[in-house]
Structure 1
Amino acid sequence: MGRNQFEYQIPLFDVVERYYGARKTSATPQVELHCTPPPQAADSSGIPHTAARIVFTMVKLIAGLMGSSVASGSARLSGVEQLHSFLKAIKESNVHDLDTARVYNSGRSEEDLGKIPEAKDEFSIATKAPGFSPGSLAFDNIINNCAASLAALKQERLDLYYLHGPDRSTPLVESLRAINQLFQEGKLAAFGISNYHATEVEEILRLCAKHGFVRPSIYQGGYNPLLRAADKELFPLLRRYNISFYAYSPLAGGFFSRPIAELRNPPSGSRMEQMHVFSIMYVNDLSLAMHEQLSQACKKEGLALKEATLRWMMHHSMLGADDGIIIGASTPEQLRENVRACGGGPLPSSMVELFEDIWRRFHGAGYSQHYSIPL
Structure 2
Amino acid sequence: FGSARSASRLHDLRTMAASGGAGGAPHVRIILGTMTFAGQVDKAGTLKQLTSFAEGNASERRDRVELDTARMYNHGKTEELLGEIFGEAPELRARYITATKVNPFKGFNETLTPESVRAQSAACLEALGADSTDILYLHAPDIDTPIERTLEAMQGLYEAGKFRELGLSNYSAWETAHIWHICKARGWVLPTVYQGMYNAITRQVETELFPCLKALGIRFYAYNPLGGGMLTGKHRAVSDAPTAGRFKDNKMYQDRYWQPAFFEALEVVRTACDAEGVTMAEAALRWLAHHSLMRGGDNDGIIIGASSQSHLDGNLAAAQGGPLPAAIRDAYDAAWEIARPSCPKYFRP
| Larger deviation, residues 275-284 vs 335-344 | 275-284
Q: 1:265 aligns with which of 240, 243, 258?
A: 240
Q: Structure 1 pair 76/29, CA: closer, same or farther in 2 (3 Å)?
A: farther
Matches within 5 A, 1:201-350: 201-261=176-236, 264-321=239-296, 322-350=299-327
SS in 1 for 2:195: strand
SS in 2 for 1:167: coil
Q: 1:138 aligns with which of 113, 122, 135?
A: 113
Distance in 2 of aligned mates of 1:257 and 1:74: 23
Matches within 5 A, 1:1-375: 22-24=15-17, 31=24, 58-67=27-36, 75-78=39-42, 80-94=43-57, 96-117=65-86, 118=90, 119-133=92-106, 136-261=111-236, 264-321=239-296, 322-363=299-340, 366-373=341-348, 375=349
SS in 1 for 2:67: strand
Q: Deviations over 1:184-215 (max 9, x none)?
A: 11110111010111111111012112211101
Q: Deviations over 1:303-345 (max 9, x none)?
A: 0011111100001111112101111211111111000001111
Please name the residue that 1:45 is paired with.
none
Distance in 1 of aligned mates of 2:138 and 2:250: 21
Q: Structure 1 pair 232/253, CA: closer, same or farther in 2 (3 Å)?
A: same
Structure with the higher helix share, 1 or 2 = 2
Please name the residue that 2:4 is paired with.
none
Aligned-pair CA distance for 1:88: 2.1
Q: Which runs of 5+ in 2 are unaligned?
A: 1-12, 59-64
Aligned-pair CA distance for 1:77: 2.2
8 Å contact from structure 1 (residues 197, 372) kept in 2: yes
| Larger deviation, residues 132-141 vs 114-123 | 132-141
8 Å contact from structure 2 (residues 265, 336) kept in 1: no
Distance in 1 of aligned mates of 2:15 and 2:57: 27
Q: Deviations over 1:270-307 (max 9, x none)?
A: 10114232222223333222222211210111100111
Identity of aligned residues (%): 34
8 Å contact from structure 2 (residues 30, 304) kept in 1: yes
8 Å contact from structure 1 (residues 227, 370) kept in 2: no
SS in 1 for 2:295: coil
Superposed CA RMSD? 2.2
Q: How many residues matched? A: 322
TM-score, length basis structure 1: 0.80
Larger Rg: 1
SS in 2 for 1:141: helix
| Larger deviation, residues 165-174 vs 291-300 | 291-300
8 Å contact from structure 1 (residues 173, 207) kept in 2: yes
SS in 1 for 2:70: coil
AA at the equivalent of 2:93: K
Q: Structure 1 pair 22/28, CA: closer, same or farther in 2 (3 Å)?
A: closer
AA at the equivalent of 2:209: L
Distance in 1 of aligned mates of 2:216 and 2:190: 10
Distance in 1 of aligned mates of 2:222 and 2:21: 17
Distance in 1 of aligned mates of 2:334 and 2:207: 17
